[in-house]
Structure 1
Amino acid sequence: MTIRAATGALFWISGASILYLALAPGSLSFSLGNDTVDHTLAFIVLPLLAALAWPMVNHLTLWLALAVFGGSLELLQGGMAFGRDAAWTDWAVDLAAAAAMLVALRIMRRSRKPDVTAP
């Protein structure tokens, strides 16, 4: 198994885990103690894994896919009857964390490219 394939598998496992944690009743879920921290960590890890697994995917496309995933989580939580509710501020945190990671990855990628104009 290649590194990219392993990273892709880890992305899907992480996404499924995040889906479970977001939709499980509170007593069956895990939290770092702060909802904002939970969302930030999740949406920093997902774009990092996705960008490593599929480096040719456009970052805007990736961000939009993660935006749909985060928004879907909130919609699903809003329709649940047991201990979960939608918080659109959580979605805003998801969007900001994913964007921050993708910007950081772009900066790192650009800094690694050799300067062909250097003597």
Structure 2
Amino acid sequence: MNAQTISRILFWLLLGTILVISLMPATDAPTVFADDKLNHILAFFTLSLMARLLWTRTHAAILFVLLMALGGGIELLQLSMGFGRDADWWDFVADIVAILLGMLAGKLFWSMKRKRSATE
């Protein structure tokens, strides 16, 4: 298995982990930060950065829309669930900000890599 295949497997594992944590009862969900918005930013920044680095031939706008739909979909599912999860549209805003930052970080990474390759 090559590095890209392993990285894509890790991406899908991260996505699954985010879904499970986001949809389990809030009392059972593990957190990294005490502030819920920081947890959203960490999750969606990492997910969007990985997506941007792994799917370079996919237009950034498509990745952005797909990840934004994921964040919005999670909030809609939380809205409809009855066991300790509440939808918070500020969580969705945090997701969008994180997606934008992750996409930008991925773009900067590839730009720097191309410049470094051109000078070698």
TM-score (norm 1): 0.89
- 1:89-100 counterparts in 2 under 5 A? 89-100=90-101
Query: What is the identity percentage for the equivalent residue pairs of Structure 1 and Structure 2?
Result: 32
- Which residues of structure 2 form unaligned runs of 5+? none
Amino acid at match of 1:8: R
1:47 and 1:102 in contact (8 A); partners too: yes
Amino acid of the structure 2 residue aligned with 1:53? L
Secondary structure in 2 matching 1:26? coil
Whether contact under 8 Å (1:4, 1:52) holds in the other structure is: no
Q: 1:19 deviation in Å?
A: 0.4
Residue in 2 aligned with 1:24?
24
Unmatched segments (≥5 aa) in structure 1: none
- One-letter amino acid matched to 1:86: A
Match of 1:38 in 2: 39
Pairwise CA distance, 1:45: 0.9
CA RMSD, Structure 1 to Structure 2 (Å): 1.8
Over residues 49-102 of structure 1, what are the superposed CA-to-partner deviations in whole Å (9 max), with x where a residue is unaligned?
222322212111111100000000000000111111111110011011111111
Residue matched to 1:58: 59
Q: Shift of the alpha carbon at 1:34?
A: 1.5
Structure 2 counterpart of 1:106? 107
Residue 114 of structure 1, CA deviation = 3.6
Q: Return the letter of the residue paired with 1:14.
A: L
Paired with 1:45 and 1:66, the residues of 2 have a C-alpha distance of 11
In the alignment, is the contact (CA less than 8 A) between 1:48 and 1:101 conserved in 2? yes
Q: Deviations over 1:31-59 (max 9, x none)?
A: 12211111000011111222232221211
- CA contact 1:40–1:97 (8 Å) conserved in 2: yes
Structure 1 SS opposite 2:84 = coil
Partner of 1:4: 4
Deviation at 1:9, TM superposition (A): 0.7
